[in-house]
A and B are shown apart, each in its own frame.
Chain A
Amino acid sequence: GAVVSQHPSRVICKSGTSVKIECRSLDFQATTMFWYRQFPKKSLMLMATSNEGSKATYEQGVEKDKFLINHASLTLSTLTVTSAHPEDSSFYICSALDRIYGYTFGSGTRLTVV
């Protein structure tokens, strides 16, 4: 089936630094990828829709200057959390839209900002 690889799985960074999370579709081309944030014991909150070759579409309330999304190729989308603060600590998960399987998810990234 479709596989999405997300890296890193865990990252700890200092407050004020930036962190980049990668999401790759391994065996299919993904023109559309999604970035979610999940708080403990909560549902997935869609942050943005990433379209290859164009600007991402952000959901209401998500700061696009803080959460930079780049989808430069059909197999890679990146999310950069800029000037991270402790309140950005969360579980971030990406997914890619595949014609057969629907939404295939990455394994998630646990971000801790100290």
Chain B
Amino acid sequence: EIVLTQSPGTLSLSPGERATLSCRASQSVSSSYLAWYQQKPGQAPRLLIYGASSRATGIPDRFSGSGSGTDFTLTISRLEPEDFAVYYCQQYGSSPETFGQGTKVEIK
């Protein structure tokens, strides 16, 4: 089983600042099948990034993903008020398709 470790656990930033979230895998993620999701309280997750770096339909270009192998990054270039949420990575290259524990981006 691939274990995904996200860091930091909480990121305290102000609107307009840049957010950098990390997702590290215990083994190489097959074919960069790594996705990022955003979840707000009481809501279902929303797909932001798939294939490590491809933005999902309708996702603003301030969200970008990068990385390969075992190290992946989600960057939000300038935080908007609606971006404060919990972010999860998921690898879907091998079974079980595990999730990280999440990074909470909160308003400073």
Bound pair (A, B): no
